[in-house]
Every structure is written in structure tokens, then in C-alpha cells.
């Protein structure tokens, strides 16, 4: 997908986010807003990582995930800049927390299946 297509993906997600504000049920509205905001952030990070990867002469992956885009940005810089140490620590803490929660969820699934 070309650069303009990735930018369009971000715009589409923000449009969906705006549309979600008109959802009458509050719980559904908030869920949709969180979902579309997350997708917009994911699309934006993928666009940035793709652009920087190509700009640096590296071959980008065919598909970016939130994690792969974030790792690429952490490892290779954006426009010559890296995350500052505080932000890097926060990202590492979030990543560890997500992995721990995923592992706990898998353990619960296995426990439920063995009963």
C-alpha cells in the first residue's frame, strides 16, 4: 500500500471515531471511540514506520502490527530522533504488562479447558 493509502487509513479511522460520537448508547459509544482511536494510532504508527523504513533503505514488512511498528520506531529512529529514556522505560513497562496479561489470560484458558 502506498504512502497516501496509509494516510487515508488514518483519516478514515478518525472519521469513524467522529461518527462514533453520535452513537446513542453510552457504553457502545465509548467502546467504538476507544476502538477507532486505537486503530487510528495503529495506522499512524504503521505509516510512520513504513515511511522511515523506506527512507532508510530498509525493506519494510508486508504488514505492520502495533508492536512491530513501535519496535521499528524504537530501534531505528524517526527523522533522526529516538524516544527519550523516560518514554522508552514507559513503553517497556507497557510491553511487559501486556505480555504478563496475555500470559495470565492463556493460563486461565488452559485451566478452564482442563476442568
User: At residue 58, does pLDDT exceed 90?
Assistant: yes
Q: Per-residue DSSP letters for 87-109?
A: HHHHHHHHHHHHHHHHHHHHHHH
Cell of 50: 513504513
User: At residue 115, does pLDDT exceed 70?
Assistant: no
How many other C-beta atoms lie within 10 A of the C-beta of residue 48? 19
User: At residue 80, does pLDDT exceed 80?
Assistant: no
pLDDT digits (tens, 9 = 90+) for 3-42: 567 678 778 877 887 888 888 888 888 888 888 888 888 8
Coil, strand or helix at 41: helix
CA separation for the pair 6, 44 (Å, rounded): 8
| % of residues, the chain, pLDDT over 70 | 87
Which pTM does this prediction carry? 0.63
* pLDDT at site 108: 67
Cell of 105: 489470560
User: At residue 2, does pLDDT exceed 60?
Assistant: no
Q: Per-residue DSSP letters for 3-29?
A: HHHHHHHHHHHHHHHHHHTT-SSHHHH
Enter the DSSP assignment of 63: S
Amino acid at each position: 500500500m502506498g504512502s497516501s493509502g496509509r494516510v487515508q487509513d488514518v483519516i478514515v479511522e478518525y472519521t469513524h471515531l467522529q461518527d462514533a460520537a453520535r452513537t446513542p448508547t453510552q457504553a457502545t459509544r465509548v467502546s467504538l471511540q476507544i476502538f477507532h482511536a486505537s486503530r487510528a494510532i495503529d495506522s499512524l504508527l504503521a505509516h510512520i514506520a513504513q515511511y522511515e523504513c523506506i527512507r532508510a533503505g530498509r525493506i519494510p514488512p508486508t504488514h505492520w502490527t502495533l508492536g512491530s511498528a513501535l519496535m521499528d520506531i524504537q530501534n531505528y529512529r524517526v527523522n533522526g530522533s529516538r524516544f527519550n529514556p523516560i518514554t522508552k522505560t514507559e513503553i517497556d513497562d507497557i510491553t511487559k504488562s501486556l505480555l504478563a496479561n496475555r500470559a495470565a489470560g492463556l493460563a486461565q484458558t488452559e485451566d478452564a479447558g482442563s476442568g
